[in-house]
Structure 1
């Protein structure tokens, strides 16, 4: 990669190099275990001109999202988060039966189902064929397509402009950030709103959340760099909310330039925090790589010591972030016998690169392991409750991020 995909600058500085890994959602079926498995460099850099952190576009969205392994509805807390967002947006924007809501990257309809329940006209734009089909089966109108300016114009021509366009957990997933933003502007009414949720680079750096760096996340935003990205498509950032999701996310509220007005006070507050953390200069990035290396050493030391003591360790969850962690740390089935996941799509498959079996959650209670390594650490509160039953045999939970912690759960 020689140029920043947002501003075109060639002034890119290394943040952390995680080696080479397969795409994080390319779970292997048993008949693929003896076949070659492609791996791609995973090297995060930051543009020292516009401060957008980014990966080279080594894989295409088409490769990742035509058949996708992630279904949002399998996370109880995530469905509740979506329900709460819809309720707040309806109240904030005064949405009613005459309104129109579009969600980009609508997955299996986990969010728009709450819009449907309120009698508000809506449409999902979802590139993955399999999860889009699940949304339609659940009664959520869904178009199978990637968003670009042409798609945005076509949807607007057929359905009318959207009062609200939602783009949650997708703004990092598109290599053509300018074209995607222009697509958002094409969808939204001239007096409408765009709401975007994306992980906050500030917390990623501060909390060692390097496992959320993977190939389908092409860029990593501060509020400052997100505002620059939105401006590239004719949108102005007017408000921001700090969210706990994914270990720390930002909800960006934007409007077309002509009606936006001045940004609210919360935008200035977060920009000041980012500046104080050094994220507008290289000093904020220089120590990250060393802290990432410590996470790796601590996890490997724990797993090796447990194996030497004859103790069993299994995983809980098979998220994309877990595959970055497992591959970077070089964890194989000799150190992690298997992991489990609530998503039946992944059962009987194997994690990319590390070839760890993915089994149904019931295996944990059947096998009674000494430790359960929780890979979706961002759902800590939810999963400590879900896994409280491991207390019955004295099992403990292990969280690898932001630093290794071993938790004794109580029923």
Structure 2
């Protein structure tokens, strides 16, 4: 990487180098286990001119999202998060029968189904053929396409301008951040709203959430860098909410420049917090790499000691972030026998790079392992409740991030 993808600067400084890993959602079938597996460098840098943290665009969105393994609806807490958002947005913006809502990267309709239920006209714009088909089967109108300025203009010409454009957990996933932002502007009405949820770089660094660095995530935002990114497409940030999702996320409320008005007090408050954390100077990034290394050492020490004591350790979940962790730590089936996942699409497959089998969740109760390593640690409350049954045989849960935590669960 030689230039910042947002401002074009060459002033890029290393934040953390995680080596080389396969794309995190390229789960392997049994037939592919003896085939070569490509890996790509995973090196996070920050631009010291606009402070956008970023990795090189070594894979394309088309490689990742044309056929996608992630279905949002398998997380009940995430579906509930979407329901509450739709309810609140409808009240905040006065959405009704005459309104039009577009969600970009709408996945399997996990969010827009709540819009459909309210009788509000809507459309999903989803690049993945397989999850888009699932959305249509669930009654959510879905257009299969990647968002660009041209796609946005085409959707607007056919369906009209959107009163609300939602872009949750996608703003980090596109290397052409300027073109994507212009696409959002093309979709939204001149007096409309854009709502974006994206992981907050502040909590990523403060809470050692380095496993959310992977090739699908091309950039990592603060409010300061998000303001600059939105401005590249003619949008102004007017409000921000701090969310607990994904370990700490931003909900950015933006409007077309001409309708924006003054930003809320919350915008200036978060900007001040980011500045106090040193995220507008190199000092805020220099110790992150050492803290990442400690996460790796602590987890490996635990797994090796468990193996030497004859204890069994299995995983719960096969999220993309888990594959960054597994590959960076060099964890193989000798230390983690298998992992399980609620998504049937992943059953019978293997984690990329580390080749750990992925099985149905019922396998845990059948095998009664001593420890369950929870890879989607961001769903800690939900999964602690789901996995309470491991208490029956004295099993314990292990959370690797922000620091190693071994938990005895109670029913």
Give TM-score, length-normalised by structure 2. 1.00
Shift, 1:134, TM fit: 0.1
* Count of matched residue pairs: 411
Cα distance, 1:355 vs structure 2: 0.1
Corresponding residue number in structure 1 for 2:405:
405
Q: Tell me how far apart the structure 2 counterparts of residues 279 and 94 of structure 1 sit (CA, whole Å).
A: 36
| 2-structure distance, mates of 1:139, 1:394 | 44
Match in the other structure for 2:315: 315
Displacement of 1:368 in angstroms is 0.0
Secondary structure at 2:366 match in 1: helix
Deviations 1:269-307 (A, max 9, x none): 000000000000000000000000000000000000000
Name the SS for the 2:87 alignment partner: helix
| Structure 1 equivalent of residue 220 of structure 2 | 220
- Once the two structures are superposed, the pairs formed by residues 50-65 of structure 1 within 5 Å of their partners are 50-65=50-65
Structure 2 partner of 1:9: 9
Partner Cα separation in structure 2 for residue 369 and residue 244 of structure 1: 30
Q: Distance in 2 between matches of 1:182 and 1:385?
A: 42
Please state if 1:232 is matched with 2:232: yes
Partner SS for 2:181: helix
d(CA) in 1 for partners of 2:14, 2:291: 15
- State the shift of 1:4 in Å: 0.2
Q: Cα deviations across residues 306-350 of structure 1 (Å, max 9, x unaligned)?
A: 000000000000000000000000000000000000000000000
In structure 1, the partner of 2:302 is 302
Alignment match, 1:103 = 103
* RMSD value, Cα: 0.2
SS at match of 2:196: strand
Structure 1 partner of 2:385: 385
Q: Is the partner of 1:353 in helix, strand or coil? A: coil
- Aligned partner of 1:86 in structure 2 is 86
Give deviations 1:111-141, integer Å, cap 9, x for gaps.
Answer: 0000000000000000000000000000000
- 1:4-403 aligned within 5 A: 4-403=4-403
Query: How far off is 1:182 after superposition?
Result: 0.1
Deviations 1:213-255 (Å, cap 9, x if unpaired)? Answer: 0000000000000010000000000000000000000000000
Q: Distance in 1 between matches of 2:2 and 2:402?
A: 31
Provide the rounded CA distance (Å) in 2 between the counterparts of 1:64 and 1:55. Answer: 16
Paired with 1:320 and 1:399, the residues of 2 have a C-alpha distance of 16
SS at match of 1:397: strand
DSSP 3-state at the match of 1:189: strand
How far apart in 2 are the matches of 1:401 and 1:241?
23
Aligned partners of 1:289 and 1:93: how far apart in 2?
A: 42
Following the alignment from structure 2 to structure 1, what is the Cα–Cα distance between the partners of residues 331 and 316? 14
3-state secondary structure, aligned to 1:349: coil
Query: Quick one: distance in 2 between partners of 1:72 and 1:267?
Result: 29
The offset of 1:19, in angstroms, is 0.1
Distance apart, 1:266 and its partner CA: 0.1
Q: Distance in 1 between the 2:259 and 2:107 partners?
A: 30
Shift of 1:196: 0.0
Structure 1 CA distance for aligned equivalents of residues 305 and 76 of structure 2: 34
Structure 1 Cα separation of the partners of residues 80 and 38 of structure 2? 36
What is the SS of the residue equivalent to 2:351?
Answer: coil
Q: Which runs of 5+ in 2 are unaligned?
A: none
- Secondary structure of the 1:197 match is strand
SS in 2 for 1:355: coil
Q: TM-score, normalised by structure 1?
A: 1.00
Q: Describe the SS at the equivalent of 2:268.
A: helix
Shift of 1:195: 0.1
Distance 1:378 1:132 in 2: 25
SS at match of 1:228: helix
**What do the CA deviations read for 1:18-60 (whole angstroms, capped 9, x no partner)?**
0000000000000000000000000000000000000000000
Counterparts of 1:139 and 1:410 in 2: how far apart (Å)?
Answer: 39
> In 2, distance between residues paired with 1:201 and 1:15?
12
How far is the alpha carbon of 1:407 from its aligned partner?
0.1
**How far, CA to CA, are the matches of 1:151 and 1:125 in structure 2?**
9
